[in-house]
Amino acid sequence: MYSKKLFLFDFDGVIVDGMNEYWHSALLACQKYLGSPEIIIENNHFKQVSNTFIEMRPWVKYGWEMLIIVHEIIKRENSLNNKNKINFQKKYHQNCKEILLKNSWSSEHLQTCLDKSRKYQIDKDFDSWVNLHKPFYEVIDFIERIKKDKIKSGIITTKGKIFAEKILSKLNIFPELIFGYESGTKVEIASELSNEYEILGFIEDRKKTLVDIKENNCTMDIPCYLADWGYLKKTDRNNLPYEIKLLKLKDLEQLVAI
């Protein structure tokens, strides 16, 4: 019998809406650090998130993929737009690999560019960078509620840990555990944690991640919840497998009772 209980949370799309931050930081990374001759960046790009970017967001697994999407949107020729995005989505991972190869990039290089972009903004104007994130206050309240019930909270994000910590601190959220992309995959982290904690639930807005959790022998017993308020594909809510439950913000309090 476990003496320690834990709830796990994804970060972007679950605790905060980071759409503006990802667009702005990826755009700045393309401008300052990527050095691609194929793109043109105008001031109005920074004023509003591209609709195409919003439509592509549910396909993204890792932060560095954001640079690929932004790069393709702001290309001088054959740019990614609402007319051709469906074709890109159909072979999303293959397209990302081909763009890496074509430009002689690596995922590590793109992630470094994104991290540099964030550090630049933090050093220049920390509050402006933090304010690009819009918190889901219902989730923040839920984290505070479970803490009163002696239940720990853990956050697993594909952001760098240092950046997640800065945002959480500004929002006065202090989870017991925070894991960034440096710590490994979400399945690996959850598997390790399951040796020490009774994991009461994992709230995530990427369906494939929850499926991976359920298909792993070490984590298959973790209750999984798909965040209805997150970055979901249109089909994600349909026919959820492995007893993965669709969770709405208004139903968070019910999890405490469970």
Number of domains in the chain: 2
pLDDT at residue number 253: 84
CA atoms within 13 A on the CB side of 230: 25
Q: Say if residue 61 is in the same domain as residue 99.
A: yes
Q: Say if residue 9 is in the same domain as residue 63.
A: no
- pLDDT per position as a tens digit, 100-154: 999 999 999 999 999 999 999 999 999 999 999 999 999 999 999 999 999 999 9
Q: Say if residue 120 is in the same domain as residue 181.
A: no
Q: Say if residue 13 is in the same domain as residue 29.
A: no
pLDDT at residue number 65: 97
Residue type, 46: F
Q: Say if residue 140 is in the same domain as residue 245.
A: yes
Task: Give the end of a domain, one of 84, 108, 130.
Answer: 130
Q: Say if residue 24 is in the same domain as residue 126.
A: yes
DSSP string, 163-199: HHHHHHHHTT---SEEE-GGG--HHHHHHHHTTTSEE
pLDDT at residue number 1: 53
Residue 84's domain spans which residues? 19-130
CATH of the domain at 150: 3.40.50.1000
- pLDDT per position as a tens digit, 163-222: 999 999 998 999 999 999 999 999 999 999 999 999 999 999 999 999 999 999 999 999
Q: How many CB atoms lie within 10 A of CB 106?
A: 12
Flag whether the pTM goes above 0.85: yes
Task: Give the end of a domain, one of 82, 103, 130.
Answer: 130
C-alpha of 179 from chain center: 12
Task: Give the end of a domain, one of 95, 130, 165.
Answer: 130
Instruction: State how far the Cα of 122 lies from the Cα of 163, in Å rounded to an integer.
Output: 9
Nearest 10 degrees: Cα torsion 216, 224, 175, 148: -130
pLDDT at residue number 2: 66
pLDDT at residue number 188: 97
Q: Say if residue 12 is in the same domain as residue 63.
A: no
pLDDT at residue number 42: 86
Q: Say if residue 71 is in the same domain as residue 54.
A: yes
Q: Say if residue 166 is in the same domain as residue 102.
A: no
Q: Say if residue 12 is in the same domain as residue 46.
A: no
Q: And the tokens for 84?
A: 């051709």
- pLDDT per position as a tens digit, 13-65: 999 999 999 999 999 999 999 989 999 888 889 989 999 999 999 999 999 99
3-state secondary structure of 229: coil
pLDDT at residue number 258: 55
Q: Say if residue 23 is in the same domain as residue 83.
A: yes
Q: Say if residue 51 is in the same domain as residue 108.
A: yes
pLDDT at residue number 73: 96
Neighbour-count burial of 197, counting CB atoms closer than 10 A to its CB (0-12 exposed, 13-18 middle, 19+ buried): buried
Statement: residue 251 has pLDDT above 60: yes
pLDDT at residue number 227: 98
Q: And the tokens for 209?
A: 């991640």
